[in-house]
Structure 1
Amino acid sequence: MTGHHHEQPAADTDPARFWDERYGQRDRIWSGRVNPVLAEVAGALPPGTVLDLGSGEGGDAVWLASKGWRVTAVDISSVALDRLTVEAERAGVADRITTVRHDLTQGFPPGRYDLVSAQFFQSPLVLPREKVLPPAAEAVAPGGRLLVVEHGAPPPWAGPDTGHHRFASPEEILAAMNLDPDGWDTERRGAARRTATGPDGRTGELIDHVVLVRRR
């Protein structure tokens, strides 16, 4: 999450309202560009069906649809999904995207997908990996993949108040998936580096933790 000082929301904050308000503060809170690791992974695959978890304003979903994927975009925020739909229409790919407003801590949308993508799923609200990643893996069709990308370190422009935040290692992310080792191959597990521009216009290197697994 980029941005300056996020107040820690109260434990009983309603997540849908939190995100609707967060999106409502500005016309756009994410860059609108596809996440680079997703572009690299999905770009090398034949397009199929993809479940985009926490799709936000649709940078990934619109890119995937433009490459021929049939996208199911899930987010808790109706504000974000409305924006995603506008972006999809603008890009001429609305017919390839289905939006689903859903709180993933309360269960999962049905279906099996060739690719399940969870990009930067961390949230200031408690979103337990252990609760979300096993059903995300369940949603992968035979021969399909689950791609999880998380922040691996605070961005260089983050303030001193981010020091207490712990970033899960790729091994911890993989462990949280709770996969049957006989049923899955780990295709990628490690860190990826990318250059990004911070809110103050300064560029710096960001570290992402990446786990890509394939169901046999």
Structure 2
Amino acid sequence: MTHVHEHDPSDFYSQEFWDERYSSTGAVWSGNPNQRLVEQTATLTPGRALDVGCGEGADVIWLASNGWDATGVDVSTVALERAAAQAAEAGAAIADHTTWQQVDIRSWEPPAGQFDLVSAQFMQLPEPARGELHRRLAAAVRPGGHLLIVGHHPTDMHASVGRPDVPDIMFTAEQVAAVLDPENWEILVCAAPAREITDPDGNLVTIKDAVLHAVRRH
């Protein structure tokens, strides 16, 4: 994520902001699926998946290559065009199992009870927008389906990795779990696993991810 303090915070979530960011450079992301997505879903039975904030589509393409019918949504049409092109490049067997849709996650409501997996990787919204988004995503999971929310942990604010100077957009897995009705959800993972990345100065740094993985009972 870029430095939010250089922009009006509301602009950071707009289509204009992200279209400009994607248009001004080559690939923004690595092209690899998110580590936590792979860890948490590799053994699940494929079905219908929704990836929220899909960017250039690496997670959606990985899901499709593993047997899922995967829909990627993002605010940026530029990112979605790149994602669709990457899927086409991967071949018809994968492209035919991907769908792309432009949405504003601050107001968009996915269809209720339609997905076997809903994944949101590093969608860093402030409250109350974050909790409202997580409730809408939870409602999109069908009984027996999985919800996977991964984000930047608050401890990352003290790491030299260029996180935005906006503490409220960081969150813990426990905060995500708190929006789920315990009668309807079984929490499988609620944790802050560590991983190593390279900071802007080339140093290896340990950071933590907030990881919430839950399955809908009914």
Structure-1-length-normalised TM-score: 0.88
Equivalent residue runs for 1:76-155 within 5 Å? 76-92=75-91, 93-110=94-111, 112-122=114-124, 128-152=129-153, 153-154=156-157
Aligned counterpart for 1:10 among listed residues 8, 26, 29: 8
> Aligned partners of 1:68 and 1:50: how far apart in 2?
10
Map residues 70-81 of structure 1 onto 2, 5 A cutoff: 70-81=69-80
Range with bigger deviation, 7-16 or 204-213: 7-16
Please name the residue that 2:192 is paired with: 191
Q: Which runs of 5+ in 1 are unaligned?
A: none
Equivalence for 1:172: 175
Which stretches in structure 2 are left out of the alignment for 5+ residues?
none
Separation in structure 2 between the aligned mates of residue 193 and residue 75 of structure 1, nearest angstrom: 27
| Separation in structure 2 between the aligned mates of residue 30 and residue 148 of structure 1, nearest angstrom | 19
User: Shift of residue 39 of structure 1?
Assistant: 0.1
Cα distance in structure 2, aligned partners of 1:63 and 1:136: 20
Q: Percent identity?
A: 40
CA-to-partner distance for each residue in 1:20-54, whole Å, 9 max, x for gaps? Answer: 11111211111111111110111011111110000
| Aligned Cα root-mean-square deviation (Å) | 2.2
Q: CA deviation at 1:162?
A: 4.9
In 2: Cα distance, 1:180 partner to 1:141 partner: 14
- Count of matched residue positions in the alignment of Structure 1 and Structure 2: 210
User: Contact (CA 8 Å) 1:48, 1:69: kept in 2 or not?
Assistant: yes
1:64-94, Cα deviation, whole Å (9 max, x unpaired):
1111111010101100100101111111211
Task: Using the TM superposition, give the Cα deviation of residue 168 of structure 1 relative to its aligned residue in structure 2, in angstroms.
Answer: 1.7
Q: Which runs of 4+ in 1 moved over 4 A?
A: 161-164
Offset, 1:183: 1.1
1:49 aligns with 2:52: no
- In 2, the alpha carbon distance for the partners of 1:121 and 1:63 equals 19
The two structures have a TM-score, normalised by structure 2, of 0.87
Change (3 A) 1:113 1:12: closer
Is residue 27 of structure 2 the alignment partner of residue 25 of structure 1?
Answer: no
Listed one character per residue, the Cα deviations across residues 95-139 of structure 1 (whole Å, up to 9, x for unaligned) are 11000101122222325100000100015x888212211110000
Q: Aligned-pair distance for 1:9? A: 2.4
Q: Rate the CA distance shift 1:155–1:119 in 2: closer, same or farther, 3 A.
A: farther
